[in-house]
Amino acid sequence: MRLEHIKDMAVGMSEGRFSSLKVEMEYLPVLSKNAYKTREGFIKRACIDWMDELAWAIRVLLNGQNIKLEPPLNILVELEVSGVGRLPDTQNMIDVLADAIENGTGINDKDFIIRTIPARRGDDSKIIITIKEG
């Protein structure tokens, strides 16, 4: 991933004192605890790659602003999906998202307060993740 792309992913990040970090990522149908592992017990490659990309983006954005987060973290997850068919269950992505955010922030996911907004239709398939302290 290119560094310029990371800046595009950071939809919003306050200047000076940290208040929130908002990251927008492409939604992939494989991002679900239901599809997290194969029958053999291995995590699917596309899921691993997406998790690594999110964790890396969070680290780059926080380190670039010299921000050290303190638990607990409030995390808001918004999902927008294009096309027709059944909307995904946002709740099924929580395990995947929590693992990636833990890897990116270094804070154990037991210290996360996660809220989800019901999935909605849109022009693009994307996940918007907002991270705030306290």
Reported residue count of the chain is 134
Name the amino acid, one letter, at 24. Answer: E
CB neighbours (10 Å) of residue 95?
Answer: 15
pLDDT at 40: 59
- pTM, full prediction: 0.83
The answer to whether residues 23 and 57 touch, using CB atoms and an 8 Å cutoff, is yes
Below-50 pLDDT ranges, the chain? 1-2, 11-12
> What pLDDT shows up at residue 2?
47
CATH number of 3-133: 3.30.1330.70
Cα dihedral 6, 81, 73, 48 sign: negative
Q: Considering Cα of 23, then 25, then 27, then 28, what sign does the dihedral take?
A: negative
- The domain segmentation of the chain, as residue ranges, is 3-133
